[in-house]
Amino acid sequence: MLKLSTEQCAAVDKMEDDAFVKDTARQLKKHFPGIDEPDATFHPRLKNALNHANTLPLQEKNVRRDFLMLEAFYPGFYLKPEVDKWLRTPNGYSVEQRVEDYKHVMINRERRGL
């Protein structure tokens, strides 16, 4: 059995997160051609959002991807104190459900032109 040190585990987690960010950025740019931000700034922005998402903690891959999608369209949304507080405050729903709810609220606001 392979045993990794704490530093090695952290390095593996970082590599996985970096690959996740790159893959998500590629998928977002493919599905939404209007995203024309250069990778040199887009990837670090998504990486910062993923680092924040990991502190919530978001476990489901699709919800983590949705979190990055929200960051792509609404830069820094998670830095707003009211959003961060709402995501972190237990209210009977999982943090994953709260992210999904927030995504749907933002989509509906966009459709209504708000």
Return the domain boundaries, the chain. 11-112
The whole-model pTM stands at 0.89
How high is the pLDDT of residue 100? 94
Do residues 100 and 86 lie in contact, with contact meaning Cβ atoms separated by under 8 Å?
no
* Residue 74 to residue 81: CA distance in whole angstroms: 15
Q: How do residues 38-64 score in pLDDT, each as one tens digit? A: 999 999 999 999 999 999 988 899 999
* Residue 74 to residue 39: CA distance in whole angstroms: 17
Nearest to 18 by CA among 42, 43, 54: 43
Instruction: With a cut of 70, list the residues of the chain below it in pLDDT.
Output: none
* Residue 83 to residue 2: CA distance in whole angstroms: 41
